[in-house]
Chain A
Amino acid sequence: MDEKLVRQLQIDAAKVRLGIIEGVHAAKAGHPGGSLSCADLLTYLYTHRMNVDPKKPKDPNRDRLVLSKGHSAPALYATLALRGFFPMEEMKTLRKIGSRLQGHPDIKTPGIDMSTGSLGQGISVACGMALSAKITCDPYKVFAVLGDGEIEEGEVWEAAMFAAHYKLDNLVAVVDNNGLQIDGKVSEVMSPYPIDEKFEAFGWHVININAHDFNEMEKAFNEAETVMQKPTMIVMRSTKGKGVSYMENSVDWHGKAPNDEEYEIAVKEIKAYLAELEA
């Protein structure tokens, strides 16, 4: 990937992170940690990889994304706003009465392909979309984003079996492996490791990457395109709270909003990084 493009993705991802902080701060609730850890991924997919058009959010041939880890909705909303599905200003209405930015994704919101939030369910829905495309030879791709804690849900493994059984090579799933869940480290709460070997054993093509390296991301998604007869799982090692110093790798920031002071610090940090990128 050329340097200019990487720079643009970094700039866009920083803007998405600002949107996340704006939204969660205004809502006084939400999940900043897991939103920040997948902000780079969603930015990459929606601005660079996926065939989507904000003017035609229900285009039958669009690529689909199911945010199976639905609590990272602020990241998805900020990314969709950046992509032009609705104004970034709307992030301030997150979780408020009358807002279309619900606490967890709602299919009625422009750009949202599936309502999610109850963990483990989105991956099954993504399988259904991918199977449907296969049956009628539709060209679109389906992406699903899961949490590493989320894969403790049994339904995920039912879906893992299904995707391999029906050879859904138009499905690419990603595990956002930030290593933390509500009660602590995933390795201590209920270890899902080794994630890559488990999915491999279930019949998936598995690629390990760094969640904050756009070159690795590009390589992985290019590789996924070449895989036939198998679904692809990208296990991305990420930093929970990425981009806000005091949130990084801290389990406390799974589901808590920053207060005014913390908000100022977060915005200052991201804006400083943004200025550096734009210089």
Chain B
Amino acid sequence: MEKRATREGYGEGLCALAEVRPDLLVLDADLAAATKTNIFKKKYPEKHYDCGIAEANMMGVAAGIASTGKLVFASSFAMFAAGRAFEIVRNSICYPNLNVKIGATHAGISVGEDGATHQCNEDIALMRAIPNMTVINPADYVEAKAAVLAMADYVGPTYMRFGRLAVPIYNDEATYKFEVGKGITIKDGKDVTIIATGLMVAEAMDAANALHEQGIDARIINIHTIKPIDRDIIVKAAKETGKIITVEEHSVIGGLGSAVGDVVLEECPVPVIKLGVKDVFGHSGSAKDLLKEYGLCAENIVAVTKAALGK
């Protein structure tokens, strides 16, 4: 299967978006080559503004631009967009409810070699806690590009999370349609539900195949929109399969697992097992080695699922 990073979908998505939204402006903080906004910059140099290494100011500038009615994306690594600039995102973007889109790349431990200072495993938790904020975490290149394009007519502060690592493209660009807030059942199943987000979706799909061979019929759901979350698809899965496993390249505190858990607790309490980074910092290494070490791979999803089912 062809592999591409979701951040490339971001860069390409911005180009596609500019065709339908001529008012689009893109800001970056000295990371255009890495966030892939340089793809957009090459095509639309007059619509791309570098803010330098100053993420706090960039978020405020984005808020000011949005207040004048233009569509604006502010880009940086997840660590700096959600982390360093958190309070500006909260007070200058979300409180006044301005239409700023945040393109945050290099999320999670799959950043790899740069190590713990750059591996942001807390951004989903931070961003989903802010009122008015939408949080989107696409699973592959096609979904990433479609999600960006969907911002043409989706109004309101939105945090979009992209990865550095090239991951399998399993969606078909010709037919794929992105709907904010809609979970996707990738594979039906009756024994257990695995809910994944971002680059863990491909791992969950591999896990489902392995489980199938071992006689376990797992349902696979892709939650690309973590907020507002698709409550119906989660409740249905809880009722029909009785057990849920969540998988995310993010801390188990406050991310997809917590969001799914909130819904299940309120509407249909069943066991929810959260796979993610377990309240620890990462360290340097290749993305592949790190994902394996932290249990964010198909093999571990299979093992955890079997254990949960007592098999």
Contacts and interface: CB of A to CB of B under 8 A. Distances in A.
Interface of A: 60, 64, 66, 106-107, 113-115, 117-118, 120-133, 135-136, 138, 154-155, 158-159, 161-162, 165-166
B65 A131 contact: yes
A121 B55 CA distance: 12
Contact of B60 (A128, A135, A136): A128
Contacts of A123: 60
A161 B54 contact: yes
Pick the 6 closest A-B CB pairs, nearest first: A128-B64, A124-B60, A158-B57, A158-B54, A128-B61, A125-B64
Contacts of B184: none
A121 B95 contact: no
Contacts of A138: 68
Nearest to A155: B56
A121 B64 CA distance: 10
A121 B88 contact: yes
Interface residues of B, number: 27
B91 A162 contact: no
Contact of B63 (A120, A128, A133, A162): A128
B215 interface: no
Interface string B204-215: 000000000000
A60 B92 contact: no
B54 A132 contact: no
B67 A166 contact: no
Given A121-B60, A132-B68, A114 B96 contact: yes
A114 B51 CA distance: 21
Contacts of B61: 124-125, 127-128, 131, 159, 162
Contacts of B52: 158, 161-162, 165
Given A118-B91, A124-B63, A128-B67, A162 B96 contact: no
Q: Dominant SS at the B interface?
A: helix
B65 A124 contact: no
Contacts of B54: 155, 158, 161-162
A128 B52 CA distance: 14
Q: Dominant SS at the A interface?
A: helix
B182 interface: no
Contacts of A115: 91-92, 95-96
A129 B65 contact: yes
B49 interface: yes
B132 to A, nearest CB: 12
Contacts of B49: 131, 166
A10 B253 CA distance: 57
Interface in B77-133: 87-88, 91-92, 95-97
Nearest to B62: A128
5 contacts: A125-B64, A135-B70, A155-B57, A159-B60, A161-B57
A161 B51 CA distance: 9
Contacts of A133: 68
Nearest to A66: B64
A177 B87 CA distance: 26
Nearest to B88: A121
A102 to B, nearest CB: 10
Given A60-B68, A114-B67, A132-B65, 5 more contacts: A64-B67, A107-B67, A124-B61, A128-B65, A158-B54
